[in-house]
Amino acid sequence: MSADLDWDEEYHPDSIRLDGWDYRRSAWYFLTICTADRRPQFGAVRNGIMALSRAGCIAAQEWRRTPEVRPYVRLDAWIVMPNHVHGILGITTESPGHDAAKSLDDPCVESSRRDDCRDDSTQGNGQESKGEFRLRAHSVGAIVGQYKSVCTKRIRAACRPHFGWQARYYDRILRNRRELKAARRYVLGNPATWTEDRLSQFE
C-alpha cells in the first residue's frame, strides 16, 4: 500500500467538503453523482435488485473503466442506481497493478456489473470539455467531471438525447477503516433501501 493511502491516526478531517483540503491528495473518497433533477435515467429497482437501462449500462461501464484510463485511481464498492451513482474512489501513487482496497483487509467489491451490458465505449476518455481542464489535474473534481462528460456524450448518442447531470456532486473523505466499511455497507445496501431513499423521490 502507498504510504499516502495508509490511515493517518493523527489526521481527522471533520467536514464533508473540507476547506483547504487538496483533493488530489491520496485518500479514499465516498462520492454521489446525481442525474439532472434526479430523474431516473439509469433503470429501476425491482424487488431490491437494480436493473440497468442502456444509459445505466454506460454509466457502469465508464465508472469501471476509470482506473484503466487513470492509473492513480482505485475503485472500491460502487453502484449505479436509478438517478445517481455511488462510488468509493481512492487516489494513490501506487503502481497500477496494486489493489489498494484489498490492502485494507477487506475484499474490493464491484457492484452494477451486468453480463448483458455490451461495452461499446471508446478506448479513451479524452473528450472532456474545455471548462473541465480548469480543474486541477488528477483531483477528485477533475475525475468526476471527466466521467460525467464521457457518460453524457455516450448516453446522448446512444439513447437519451437530453440526458444531463446535476452540476454539483457530493463527496466525503473516509478517515479510517470503520468509515470505509460503513460506506461499503451503504453502497451495497442501497437497492434494498431504495423506497426509503430521499434520492428515489422521482421513482
What pLDDT band is residue 53 in, cutting at 50, 70 and 90? Answer: very high
pTM over 0.95: no
pLDDT digits (tens, 9 = 90+) for 89-140: 999 864 444 444 443 334 334 444 343 455 444 334 333 344 443 467 789 9
Section 32-42 average pLDDT:
96
Question: Both ends of the chain: CA-CA distance in Å?
Answer: 41
Which residues, at least 6 apart from 115, have a Cβ–Cβ distance to it below 8 Å?
none
For the chain, which residues make up each domain, given as ranges? 14-191
Q: Is the pLDDT of residue 152 over 60?
A: yes
Torsion sign over Cα 44, 49, 52, 53:
negative
* Lowest mean pLDDT segment, chosen from 7-11, 69-73, 131-135: 7-11
The correct answer on CATH 3.30.70.1290 for the domain covering 14-191 is yes
| Cell numbers linked to 86 | 455511488
pLDDT digits (tens, 9 = 90+) for 168-201: 999 999 989 999 999 999 999 999 999 876 665 5
DSSP E strand boundaries for the chain: 27-34, 43-46, 49-52, 73-80, 84-91, 170-174
* Lowest mean pLDDT segment, chosen from 33-37, 128-132, 154-158, 168-172: 128-132
